[in-house]
Amino acid sequence: MEQEKPPIGWMSLRELAQRTGCPARTIRFYIARGLLPGPIKAGRDAKYGPEHERRIREIRRLQARGLTLAEIAFRLGEHSPSDTALSATLWWRIEVAPDLVVHLRHDMPPWRRHLIDHWLKQLQRLLQNPQEPSHKESNHEQV
């Protein structure tokens, strides 16, 4: 029986690895980490599409800029529809100033929380002493 031809642009894991220069094990690792979707067609003759190729190139580009896989997963996930839209979410309520409240998701990764905490402190300091130059500005002067 003649095999049905796969749509144009579909490729095997080996071909995807060849095209992107990304080793097959690394591609499997990305899929396991949620950075890439699984194959378009699973099973005996698993296939991957142009979207996989585009994403791998994007991941590599962001890595070269110094982002970690955790950060890249966060960034790439920003525009995808949330699969927890109907589930309840806990939020931290942080009062930055008497007239300013910020809500943070409770389950955000620690690296992101450290970063946001830092900038909230900067904001708080700036709101208390508007004349004081911010930490960021002083560092830019040093640079």
Interface positions with another protein (CB under 8 A): 13-14, 18, 21, 23-26, 28-29, 31-34, 38-39, 42-46, 63-71, 73, 107, 109-111, 114-116, 118-119, 135-136, 139-140, 142-143
Nearer to another protein, 98 or 128 (CB): 128
Could you tell me the smallest distance in angstroms from the CB atom of residue 55 to another protein?
Answer: 16
Q: Tell me, what amino acid is at 2?
A: E
Angle at which helices 50-64 and 69-77 cross, to 10°: 130
Nearer to another protein, 18 or 98 (CB): 18
SS3 115: helix
Among the listed residues 127, 126, 94, the one whose alpha carbon sits nearest the alpha carbon of residue 108: 94
Only one residue has tokens 């899929």, namely 31
Nearer to another protein, 88 or 98 (CB): 88
Could you tell me the smallest distance in angstroms from the CB atom of residue 24 to another protein?
Answer: 5
Token digits of residue 49:
């599409």
Nearer to another protein, 46 or 104 (CB): 46
H/E run at residue 142: helix 135-142
